[in-house]
Structure 1
Amino acid sequence: MNLLAISGSARSTSTNTALLQTVSKIAPNNIQISVFDGIGHLPVFSPDLENITLPHGVQQFVDAIAAADGLLIASPEYVRSIPGGLKNAIDWLVSGEHIVDKPIALLHASHRGGDMLAQLRLVLSTVSQSFATDLFLRFPLMNKTPQQVEDFFSSAEHRQQVQTYLARYEAFYQATKKPA
């Protein structure tokens, strides 16, 4: 199974990006995870640009989503809301078909962020028929460096939590697949 892990942060030392990168390293061999950390490089969404050739970065983002079997999203909370860059990225996907049936689940790198998570759940359940509302994993990583995040997962307990989460995701993915 090939997953695309989307970081909702544009920060180069984001704990959410570090979480996704670490999860990709410790995933079982049957699950490959690519991390997309280019939210900050996407142009501002405009419906006027949808009916022509998409901007290069947007096309790469859309292609990465189309190629993935499913999506994992981890995002910080900004001003008790979804970061503008992540909302912008989702806006680029709304009128296309690539996200509609794509299995999606959330991870979170903080003990805070409930308002953003509630909004993100609402948005994702609106744009995708396969958003896993009950598949969620959270770790208290706020203000940790990427190296500290990686060190955090040297613990067998934390690695096992990730393995269990990914096994649950795989079961969810299998349940959402349409018969051939």
Structure 2
Amino acid sequence: MKIIAISGSIRSSSTNTALLYSVAALAPKDLDLTIYKGLADLPHFTPELDGDTLPRVVKDWRTLLEKSDGVIISTPEYAYGMPGVLKNALDWIVSSGELVGKPVATISASPSELGGSKAHASLVLTLTALAGNLVEGGSLTIPFIAKKLNASGELTDLNTVQSLKFLLDALVRVIIDNRK
């Protein structure tokens, strides 16, 4: 089983990326969970490039998504929305359809009390437009994220660990059900 995890942040000390590493640590050994690190490499989306001369990095992005059984996206909130680099990556798959029907789990974490709920809503709206299969039980907003990580970026809050485990389990269940 292959799951691609995507952080909406390209910051080296991103709390959303740290959360994805926590999810990876919770994954069973037979689950191949890969954290995508090419978000910043994708060119700005323009329909003129979305054709026969598609940039190699975009082809690779699409192939990675196509070959995955499921996706987890964790995003911070910038100006009440998801970061532009994440929206750009999702724009690159509007016409090609790699997320159509694919099980997707979503996370938003923020230092605020709202947990990035506006970014999360923006992400869900975009994923709905892309016809992703938004997994029931696979949605999580995490407030006050900085208080839940230690200085090394490791998740120390047991309730959040448990919530991430539930999210991963929900995603895996849908992937298994889709194989039947």
TM-score range normalised by the length of the shorter chain: 0.7 to 0.9
Which runs of structure 2 are paired with 1:3-22 in the superposition (5 Å)?
3-22=3-22
The 8 Å contact of residues 15 and 144 in structure 1, kept in 2 or not, is answered as: no
Gaps of 5+ in 1: none
User: What is the percent sequence identity of the aligned residues?
Assistant: 34
For normalisation by structure 1, the TM-score amounts to 0.85
CA distance change for structure 1 residues 132 and 33 in 2, over 3 Å: closer, same or farther?
A: same
Residue of structure 1 equivalent to 2:120: 117
Is the deviation greater in 132-141 or in 1-10? 132-141
Gaps of 5+ in 2: none
Number of aligned residues: 176
The 8 Å contact of residues 80 and 115 in structure 1, kept in 2 or not, is answered as: yes
Secondary structure of 1:150's aligned partner: coil
For normalisation by structure 2, the TM-score amounts to 0.85
> How far is the alpha carbon of 1:96 from its aligned partner?
0.4
Is the deviation greater in 160-169 or in 4-13? 160-169
Matched, 1:39 2:43: no
Counterpart Cα distance in 1 of 2:137 and 2:155:
27
Secondary structure of 1:79's aligned partner: coil
Counterpart Cα distance in 2 of 1:148 and 1:141:
14
> How far is the alpha carbon of 1:32 from its aligned partner?
2.0
Residue of structure 2 equivalent to 1:141: 145
The 8 Å contact of residues 8 and 37 in structure 1, kept in 2 or not, is answered as: no
Counterpart Cα distance in 1 of 2:76 and 2:124:
14
Counterpart Cα distance in 2 of 1:32 and 1:138:
24
CA distance change for structure 1 residues 147 and 36 in 2, over 3 Å: closer, same or farther?
A: farther
